[in-house]
Chains A and B, each alone.
Chain A
């Protein structure tokens, strides 16, 4: 079954850290670029981070640059998002999403999404 399953969300205090995981199955993991996208009621959908199929290139939204790190383990078919120095405005549902097209780069649409994991940053 082709799917992405996120985990690792929860409640964290401002300034804290959290690591999200996204387990993939049903497709050749190491041939697709992957993204983290977040969604809030106020700001809508926002692309957060991207990583190339081989892990050789990363890209971040300005709002998270220097605080978040995207990585992947192609031997485990798993994507990660390390989130440090969290702020209340990082509160959102975080989705992992697969880039459309083999060896998809940063500029891609998303043909597969996980179910999302909720991150709440609050004291």
Chain B
């Protein structure tokens, strides 16, 4: 099973700042099949990024994904008030599908 470790656990930033979130896999993610999701309290996760770097339909271009192999990054170029949430990575290249533990982006 591929274990995904997200860091930091919490990121305290101000609106307008840049957020950099890390997702590290315990072994290489096949075909870079890595996705990112955003979740707000009481809501379901929202699909943001697939195959490491492709934005899902309707996702603002301030969100970008990068990385390959075992190291992946989600970057939010300039935080908007609605971006404060928890972010999860997920790998879907190997069975079982696994998720990271999440990074909370909170208002400083």
Interface residues of B, dominant DSSP: loop
Listed in ascending order, the chain A residues whose CB lies under 8 Å from chain B are 44-47, 59, 61-62, 95, 100, 106-116
Q: Assess whether A106 is in contact with B95, with CB atoms less than 8 Å apart.
A: yes
| Known contacts A45-B88, A100-B50, A114-B44; A107/B102 CB under 8 A | no
Q: In the complex, are the beta carbons of A109 and B44 less than 8 A apart? A: no
Interface centre among B33, B47, B93, B94 (most CB of A within 10 A): B47
Q: Is the CB of B105 closer than 8 A to any CB of chain A?
A: no
What distance in Å separates the Cβ of B21 from its nearest Cβ neighbour in chain A? 15
> B63 on the interface (CB 8 Å rule)?
no
Residues B47 and A61 in contact, CB atoms below 8 Å apart: no
Report chain B residues within 8 Å CB of A61: 96
Q: Is B76 an interface residue (CB 8 A)?
A: no
Residues of B within 8 A of A113 (CB): 44-47
Which residues of A are found within 8 Å of B50, using beta-carbon distances? Answer: 100, 109, 111
| 5 interchain residue pairs of minimum CB distance | A109-B35, A113-B44, A45-B99, A47-B97, A111-B47
Are the C-beta atoms of B47 and A44 separated by less than 8 Å?
A: no
Q: Is B67 close to A, CB under 8 A?
A: no
B99–A109 touching, CB < 8 Å = no
- Interface of B with A (CB < 8 Å)? 33, 35, 37, 43-47, 50, 56, 88, 90, 92-102
Which residue of the partner chain B has the closest CB to A110? B47
In the complex, are the beta carbons of B44 and A116 less than 8 A apart?
Answer: yes
Name the one of A45, A47, A106, A108 contacting B45, with C-beta atoms under 8 angstroms: A45
B33, B37, B46: the one contacting A107 at CB < 8 Å is B33
CB distance from A116 to the nearest CB of B (A): 6
Bound together, the chains give a CA A61 to CA B95 distance in angstroms of 9
Of the candidates A44, A45, A95, the one having the most CB atoms from chain B within 10 angstroms of its own CB is A45
With A100-B50, A107-B92, A109-B50: A46-B99 Cβ-Cβ less than 8 Å: yes
